[in-house]
């Protein structure tokens, strides 16, 4: 169908330390015991998109990701890994692989998006309107019980003040204004408002970071505006702002067919045909704007920015904070469990001791052993864990190869791989980085424990 | 296909690309026509975007545009379909062990059935597809693949140029001779030919007044009105319920057609028959402007045996006025059935003259044109 897919898998992420480390780049962060990148690739595979480019920041991370992908998806997908230098942003990443892009339209998906919206819907909307860019919007996910404590407190203050403002036209097909993380004022283009007449401002939708771009438009924007770092914050608002005055930037006349016909009569015929087709459909406000008042086509060129609004019953969350990580883990085992592949329920050989209860929405990886009188509720436990007796794990994520001593209480926390918790440790709303050893009898509340990098 | 034949409907559903759910509450008289639940088709087709391998993206795009109502009007639909087919033929390559003629014909047939599922074909499109298949079948076997493809594309271009564009110019030339200074011309809906006639007559400097009659739910006349007013014509706009009032001042009626059948019946947008009948009662001449490629050898006596059913919700809702929702709760009741017909048939008694690219003919001469010229020009 002439679409090329680029998955932006990122690498390290400052929001997710200490979960993310050199050995565990962000795309491989496990959600319900399965790396988050799996969900994106699985969705694309189900939509029959088998040729992908995955962009990873950092050479080591690229190697790790590449190894995992070829292990899991042999023969099912054909993936090309591109490593880009760190911290160049999403736009920079696309700029780096720009020479690989050949198809007419590019579908850009963020590697940390967990959703069940089919990418085909976005692509179909893009083609139907012949748009320059199409964005997917979804409702802002309701986050779970937010963490209390120092980091949570700061986030709460931020959450109250910041909004995503999205302006749509009355038919909800075109994007008129987009601004993320606004604190006080929002500036709206008068020209667009004047052309369209009515604009609907929504703050309950957010940009899901799945875009469909026309390749020529994308490459031109990236070439001309080389200070743009991020797709979401720079490129997309730029395209939306300039949708009615794109002559400076984009050459929109379809020059291919017209150049072939030298004769005046055939050019007249082309004009005739395009007039019939244009008269047949209700013109969008772009068409009305680009015509002079007497009806002739003026030289004002416009491009269309369309949206696809995911239905409220679909699940769409981005993994870009620790709170989101906890929420996604909880949802994927709970409401949205259709996202999981079937071979991911309680592994074949967890050994449970006597009087140990495992709640309904839990996942236990293979090779895990639990002692007696343990309680596991709404949690996910990775592979090869050794959990002692009288341990209570509630609302938490425990990754692989973790040793938990007897009598521990773990609530609302994330424990990374190879961590050792000695006896009677109490953790509440903490994040423990990989390889850490928590000494016996310690109590931590809302802290982030990590091994110091040597 | 008759849709009240259950076994055939089941077979067609199995082969279908677009999954459609049948509407529940259907008028008994129109059960032989397809009626699907609107609103579920478009999202369903969109989710399958990447899974339809044999479908060419251009054909898919045109199908989506039909389904969502982005393209309306017989000429525009035909042109859009042909442009998509041109792209498809350009990208086509014969698979090994197959002949171009048979394989391409099969491919085009699959595209056509997809388009039918999106929206039933208009008669002009049916004729155009017959022409294309005929040209494919007549390709000499000695041609190489690229030569065959370029021949086909040239044929398609020739068809569009001769049958649509040139014939519109000829019709306009004939029709403006019928417009005199001081005329009040009435038109119904938005026909591309009638619009061109009015604009051309205005350019020639004739002074006349236009009455645009429109009807719900499509309100197509508004687009025509906008374009006419922009060019400086003096217009009146009214709805079809007032046509008998306004007909007293009208001197001529120009109507477009989706097709003209062999007994002189004009098959056109619903409401045309009403306008023609009122004009006849007031002794106002009715001129129907229709390109010759839209003629068909079928005979139809009423609007029931062949028609298209549109979205029933469109009748119960008024666009832009959400507070008019009196029928909201009643849609699924047993004793309420919503019927939204798209086309109707105007008997030939109400039509004074048909203006085609073969000249100005009375309605009784349509079978002559179908018989004589069809064999020569269309399928040569």
A141-185 residue pLDDT tens: 766 544 333 333 344 444 445 667 888 888 888 888 887 766 667
Cite the DSSP H helix spans in A225-352: 236-241, 255-260, 264-280, 285-289, 322-333
Backbone angles phi, psi at A380, to 5 degrees: -125, 130
Which of A172, A279, A286 to mutate: most B Cβ within 10 Å? A279
pLDDT at residue B146 tops 50: yes
Q: Does some domain include residue A280?
A: no
Q: Does some domain include residue A423?
A: yes
Q: Does some domain include residue A213?
A: yes
- CATH number reported for the structural domain that contains residue A42 in this entry: 3.90.550.10
pLDDT at residue B267 tops 70: yes
| Maximum alpha-carbon separation in chain A | 89
Most confident stretch, A89-98, A254-263, B142-151, B331-340: B142-151
Boundary of a domain, candidates B167, B195, B224? B167
Asked if the Cβ–Cβ distance from B192 to A280 is below 8 Å, we say yes
Nearest CA distance, B281 vs chain A (angstrom): 32
Chain A residue whose CA is closest to B233: A294
Whether residues B346 and B215 share a domain: the answer is yes
Q: What pLDDT was estimated at residue B171?
A: 94
Q: Which domain holds residue A392?
A: 346-449
Across residues B354-365, what is the average pLDDT?
Answer: 92
Q: Does some domain include residue B354?
A: yes
Q: What pLDDT was estimated at residue A1?
A: 64
Whether residues A323 and A185 share a domain: the answer is yes
Backbone angles phi, psi at A107, to 5 degrees: -105, 120
Q: What pLDDT was estimated at residue B19?
A: 62
Q: Does some domain include residue A227?
A: yes
- CATH number reported for the structural domain that contains residue A418 in this entry: 2.160.10.10
Whether residues A232 and A362 share a domain: the answer is no
Whether residues A395 and A318 share a domain: the answer is no
Assign B338 to helix, strand or coil. coil
Q: Which of B52, B109, B112 is nearest to B81 (CA)?
A: B112
Q: Does some domain include residue A173?
A: yes
Whether residues B143 and B53 share a domain: the answer is yes
Q: Does some domain include residue B314?
A: no
Q: Does some domain include residue B332?
A: no
Backbone angles phi, psi at B237, to 5 degrees: -120, 130
Whether residues B109 and B185 share a domain: the answer is no
Whether residues A192 and A309 share a domain: the answer is yes
Give the C-alpha separation, A451 to A116, whole Å: 36
Using one digit for the tens of pLDDT, what is the confidence trace for A346-367?
555 567 777 788 777 777 777 7
Nearest CA distance, A83 vs chain B (angstrom): 27
Q: Which of B43, B54, B19, B84 is nearest to A125 (CA)?
A: B43
Q: What pLDDT was estimated at residue B21?
A: 64
Neighbouring CB atoms inside 10 A of A452's CB total: 6
Whether residues B105 and B57 share a domain: the answer is yes
Using one digit for the tens of pLDDT, what is the confidence trace for B9-40?
777 777 666 666 666 667 888 888 877 666 66
Whether residues A353 and A326 share a domain: the answer is no
Nearest CA distance, B227 vs chain A (angstrom): 7
Whether residues B194 and B125 share a domain: the answer is no
Place of tokens 């416009």: A302
Whether residues A352 and A402 share a domain: the answer is yes
Whether residues A321 and A368 share a domain: the answer is no
Q: Does some domain include residue A195?
A: yes
Whether residues B163 and B195 share a domain: the answer is no
Whether residues A374 and A425 share a domain: the answer is yes
Whether residues B12 and B142 share a domain: the answer is yes
- CATH number reported for the structural domain that contains residue B78 in this entry: 1.20.120.420
Across residues A126-138, what is the average pLDDT?
Answer: 85
Whether residues B290 and B216 share a domain: the answer is yes
Q: In chain A, which residues have their Cβ closer than 8 Å to the Cβ of B73? A: 276, 279-280
The pLDDT-based confidence of B380 (bands split at 50, 70, 90) is: very low
Asked if the Cβ–Cβ distance from B223 to A127 is below 8 Å, we say no
Whether residues B184 and B163 share a domain: the answer is no
Q: What pLDDT was estimated at residue A261?
A: 38
Query: Higher-confidence residue: B243 or A79?
Result: B243
Give the C-alpha separation, B153 to B147, whole Å: 10
Q: Which string of b and e fits B151-183 if b means at least 16 CB within 10 Å?
A: ebbebbeebbbebbbebbebbbebbbebbeeeb
Q: Does some domain include residue A230?
A: yes
Q: Which domain holds residue B186?
A: 179-307+342-378
Range with the lowest mean pLDDT among A297-301, A332-336, A421-425, B80-84?
A297-301
Q: What pLDDT was estimated at residue A309?
A: 85
Q: Does some domain include residue B132?
A: yes
Chain A residue whose CA is closest to B168: A272
Reported as type and span, the H/E element at residue B268 is strand B266-269
The H helix count followed by the E strand count for chain A is 12, 31
Q: Does some domain include residue B1?
A: no
Boundary of a domain, candidates B167, B189, B221? B167
Average pLDDT, chain A: 76
| Maximum alpha-carbon separation in chain B | 68
- Domain total in chain A: 2
Using one digit for the tens of pLDDT, what is the confidence trace for A100-117?
888 888 888 888 888 888
Give the C-alpha separation, A365 to A382, whole Å: 5
Q: What pLDDT was estimated at residue A256?
A: 34
pLDDT at residue A227 tops 90: no
Give the C-alpha separation, B203 to B232, whole Å: 10
pLDDT at residue A342 tops 70: no
Using one digit for the tens of pLDDT, what is the confidence trace for A44-77?
888 877 778 888 887 877 888 888 888 877 777 7
Using one digit for the tens of pLDDT, what is the confidence trace for A407-417?
888 888 888 88
Reported as type and span, the H/E element at residue A420 is strand A420-421
Show contacts of B124-129: CB within 8 Å, 24+ apart.
B124/B74, B124/B75, B124/B77, B124/B78, B124/B258, B124/B259, B124/B291, B124/B293, B124/B294, B125/B74, B125/B77, B125/B78, B125/B81, B126/B296, B127/B293, B127/B294, B127/B295, B127/B296, B127/B378, B128/B78, B128/B81, B128/B82, B128/B159, B128/B293
Q: Does some domain include residue B321?
A: no
Give the C-alpha separation, A430 to A406, whole Å: 19
- Report whether A35 contacts A66 (CB < 8 A): no
Boundary of a domain, candidates B125, B144, B167? B167
Asked if the Cβ–Cβ distance from B195 to A49 is below 8 Å, we say no
Q: Does some domain include residue B173?
A: no
Which of B42, B46, B58 to mutate: most A Cβ within 10 Å? B46
Whether residues A109 and A38 share a domain: the answer is yes
Asked if the Cβ–Cβ distance from A273 to B195 is below 8 Å, we say no
Whether residues A180 and A312 share a domain: the answer is yes
- Pairing relation of β-strands A392-394 and B343-346? unpaired
Whether residues B114 and B190 share a domain: the answer is no
Whether residues B88 and B157 share a domain: the answer is yes
Asked if the Cβ–Cβ distance from B65 to A277 is below 8 Å, we say no
The residues of A whose Cβ lies within 8 A of any Cβ of B are 1-3, 47-49, 118-121, 123-125, 127-128, 269, 272-273, 276-277, 279-282, 293-295, 311
Which residues does residue B214 pair with via DSSP β-bridges, in sequence order?
A: B239
pLDDT at residue A292 tops 60: no
Q: In chain B, which residues have their Cβ closer than 8 Å to the Cβ of A1? A: 49-50, 57, 60
- Domain total in chain B: 2
Chain A residue whose CA is closest to B320: A170
Whether residues A363 and A235 share a domain: the answer is no
Q: Which of A128, A15, A142 is nearest to B42 (CA)?
A: A128
Q: Does some domain include residue A121?
A: yes
Assign A121 to helix, strand or coil. helix
Assign A386 to helix, strand or coil. strand
Whether residues B163 and B186 share a domain: the answer is no
Place of tokens 């370029």: B150
Whether residues A176 and A307 share a domain: the answer is yes
Nearest CA distance, B36 vs chain A (angstrom): 21
- CATH number reported for the structural domain that contains residue B372 in this entry: 3.40.50.10470
């Amino acid at each position: 169908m002439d679409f090329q897919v680029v998955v932006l898998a990122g690498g390290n992420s400052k929001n997710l330390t200490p979960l993310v480390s050199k050995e565990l780049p962000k795309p491989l962060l496990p959600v319900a015991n399965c790396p988050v990148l799996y969900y994106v690739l699985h969705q694309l595979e189900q939509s029959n998109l088998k040729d992908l480019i995955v962009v990873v920041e950092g050479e080591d991370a690229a190697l790790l990701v590449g190894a995992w992908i070829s292990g899991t998806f042999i023969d099912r997908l054909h993936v090309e890994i591109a490593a880009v230098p760190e911290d160049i942003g999403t736009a920079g990443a696309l700029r780096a692989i720009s020479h690989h892009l050949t198809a007419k339209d590019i579908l850009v998906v963020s590697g940390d998006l967990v959703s069940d919206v089919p990418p085909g819907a976005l692509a179909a909307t893009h083609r139907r309107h012949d748009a320059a860019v199409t964005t997917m919007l979804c409702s802002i996910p309701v986050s779970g019980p937010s963490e209390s404590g120092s980091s949570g407190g700061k986030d709460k203050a931020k959450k109250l003040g910041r909004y995503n403002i999205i302006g749509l036209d009355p038919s909800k097909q075109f994007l008129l204004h987009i601004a993320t993380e606004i604190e006080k004022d929002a500036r709206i283009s008068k020209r667009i408002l004047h052309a369209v007449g009515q604009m609907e401002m929504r703050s309950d939708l957010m940009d899901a970071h799945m875009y469909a771009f026309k390749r020529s438009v994308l490459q031109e924007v990236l070439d001309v505006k080389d200070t743009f770092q991020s797709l979401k914050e720079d490129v997309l608002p730029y395209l939306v702002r300039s949708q009615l005055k794109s002559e400076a930037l984009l050459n929109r006349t379809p020059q291919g067919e017209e150049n072939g016909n030298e004769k005046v009569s055939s050019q007249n015929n082309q004009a005739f045909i395009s007039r019939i087709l244009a008269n047949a459909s209700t013109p969008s406000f772009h068409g009305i704007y680009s015509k002079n008042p007497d009806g002739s086509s003026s030289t004002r060129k416009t491009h269309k920015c369309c949206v696809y609004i995911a239905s409220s019953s679909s699940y769409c969350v981005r993994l870009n904070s620790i709170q989101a990580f906890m929420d996604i883990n909880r949802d994927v085992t709970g409401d949205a469990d259709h996202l999981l592949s079937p071979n991911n329920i309680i592994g074949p050989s967890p050994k449970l001791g006597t009087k140990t209860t495992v709640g309904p929405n839990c996942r236990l990886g293979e090779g895990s052993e639990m002692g007696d009188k343990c309680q596991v509720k709404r949690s996910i436990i990775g592979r090869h864990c050794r959990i002692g007796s009288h341990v209570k794990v509630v609302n938490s994520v425990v990754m692989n190869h973790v040793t938990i001593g007897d009598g521990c209480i773990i609530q609302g926390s994330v424990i990374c791989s190879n961590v050792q918790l000695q006896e009677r440790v109490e953790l509440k709303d903490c994040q423990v980085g990989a390889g850490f050893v928590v000494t016996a009898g310690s109590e931590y509340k809302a802290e982030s424990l990590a091994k110091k990098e040597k | 296909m008759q849709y009240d034949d259950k076994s055939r409907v089941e077979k067609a559903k199995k082969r279908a690309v677009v999954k459609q759910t049948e509407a529940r509450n259907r008028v008994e008289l129109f059960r032989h026509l397809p009626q699907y639940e609107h609103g579920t088709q478009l999202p369903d087709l969109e989710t399958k975007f990447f899974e339809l391998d044999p479908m060419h993206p251009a054909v898919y795009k045109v199908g989506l545009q039909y389904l969502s109502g982005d393209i309306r009007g017989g000429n525009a639909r035909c042109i859009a379909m042909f442009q998509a087919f041109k792209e498809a033929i350009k990208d086509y390559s014969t698979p090994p062990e197959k002949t171009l003629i048979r394989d391409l014909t099969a491919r085009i047939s699959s595209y056509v059935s997809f388009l039918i599922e999106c929206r039933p074909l208009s008669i002009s499109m049916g004729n155009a597809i017959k022409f294309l298949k005929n040209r494919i079948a007549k390709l000499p076997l000695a041609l190489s693949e690229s030569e065959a493809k370029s021949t086909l594309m040239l044929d398609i271009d020739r068809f569009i140029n001769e049958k649509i564009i040139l014939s519109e110019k000829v019709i306009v030339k004939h029709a403006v001779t019928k417009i005199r200074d001081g005329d009040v011309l009435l038109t119904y809906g938005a026909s591309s030919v009638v619009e061109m006639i009015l604009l051309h007559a205005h350019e020639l400097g004739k002074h006349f007044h236009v009455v645009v009659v429109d009807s719900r739910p499509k309100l197509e006349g508004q687009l025509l009105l906008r374009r006419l007013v922009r060019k400086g014509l003096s217009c009146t706009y009214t709805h079809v319920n007032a046509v008998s009032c306004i007909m007293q001042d009208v001197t001529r009626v120009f109507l477009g057609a989706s097709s003209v059948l062999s007994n002189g019946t004009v098959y056109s947008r619903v409401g045309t028959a009403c306008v023609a009948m009122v004009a006849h009662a007031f002794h106002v001449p009715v001129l129907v402007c229709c390109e010759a490629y839209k003629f068909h050898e079928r005979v139809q006596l009423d609007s029931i045996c062949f028609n298209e059913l549109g979205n029933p919700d469109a009748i119960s809702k008024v666009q832009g006025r959400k507070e008019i929702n009196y029928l909201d709760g009643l849609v699924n009741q047993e004793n309420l059935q919503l019927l939204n017909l798209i086309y109707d048939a105007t008997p030939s008694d109400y039509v004074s003259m048909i203006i085609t690219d073969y000249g100005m003919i009375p309605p009784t001469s349509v079978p002559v044109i179908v018989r004589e010229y069809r064999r020569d020009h269309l399928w040569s």
